[in-house]
Every structure is written in C-alpha cells, then in structure tokens.
C-alpha cells in the first residue's frame, strides 16, 4: 500500500508504542503529526524522524481535553491540509487492586 505523502496523527507519540508507530509510518513516507503531553519528549521523536529524512511536526496535546484535541486537528489541517490516518494510542494505567484505588 502506498502511504507516501498521506498524513497521520499519532497520539501518545512521545514514547513506547506511539513512538514506534510514528517512526514506522515515517519510513513509509507518511507525514506524521506527533501528539502527546510533553513537548520535550515530542521534539526528541520529531528530531529522530527529521534526521532520517522524514516529515514530522509536534503538537503538545492532552487527549483528555476536548479543546486540546480540537487544537490538534486544526493545527494539523493548517500544516498538512488533511488527516488520512488517526492512531488512537495514548493511554495510561495503574496496576492496583480495585479495592486499593483511591476514591
């Protein structure tokens, strides 16, 4: 499948699975939009992609915030004019007994 020049938003792209997905898509020629809360971590992934000849932008985003997500979409459209792929990846977890979780 030819993904060249398509546009992908990846949430939770600052590390782990999200970062790996962003790097893989970039290798296929996809323009990647890196979204996560930490601008510092995002810029490291962005640099990594750009250094390898890929195209990436970083948009600090908190997916729990409706405004923040709207901003992500608006900024992506401004920069690339479209969104072809969305990778919903951002996630958090606490390993705890239900009983011990704070109320």
Partner 1 sequence: MIELEKNYVPIVWVTGATKGIGLAIANAFAVIGCKVILSGRNKSQLEINAGKIIDQGGYSFPLVCDVTSETNVRSAMTTITKKFGAVDVLVNNAGVTVFESFEKTTVKEFDQIVNTNLRGYFLCTKSVITSMMKQKKGHIFNVHSVSATTIFLNSAVYSASKAGSLALSKCLRAEVRKKGIRVVDVLPGAVETEMWDKNSRKKFHGKMLQPEDVADAIVSVYCQPQRMTTDEIVLRPIEGDI
Segment 52 to 91, residues that bind partner 1, using CB under 8 A? 66
Contact stretch for partner 1 (CB under 8 A) within 29-37, 50-58, 77-85, 94-102: 94-102
CB 23 within 8 A of CB 48: yes
From the CB of 83, what's the least distance to partner 1, in Å?
16
Among candidates 42, 32, 35, 43, which has minimal Cα distance to 85? 32
Residue 101, interface with partner 1 (CB under 8 A)? yes
Distances 52 to 49, 56, 59, 88 between C-alpha atoms, Å: 5, 11, 20, 24
Any contact of residue 98 with partner 1 (CB under 8 A)? yes
Q: By CB under 8 A, tell whether 94 contacts partner 1.
A: no
Instruction: Output phi, psi for 5, to 5 deg.
Output: 70, 5
Segment contacting partner 1 (CB under 8 A): 10-18, 39-47, 81-89, 93-101?
93-101
- Residues at the interface with partner 1 (CB under 8 A): 66, 97-99, 101, 103
């Amino acid at each position: 499948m030819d993904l060249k020049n398509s546009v992908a938003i990846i949430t939770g792209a600052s590390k782990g699975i999200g970062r790996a997905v962003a790097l893989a898509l970039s290798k296929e020629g996809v323009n990647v939009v890196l979204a996560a809360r930490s601008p510092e971590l995002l810029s490291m992934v962005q640099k990594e992609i750009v250094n390898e000849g890929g195209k990436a932008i970083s948009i600090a985003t908190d997916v729990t915030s409706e405004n923040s997500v709207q901003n992500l979409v608006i900024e992506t459209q401004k920069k690339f004019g479209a969104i072809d792929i969305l990778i919903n990846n951002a996630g958090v977890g606490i390993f705890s007994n239900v009983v011990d979780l704070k109320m």
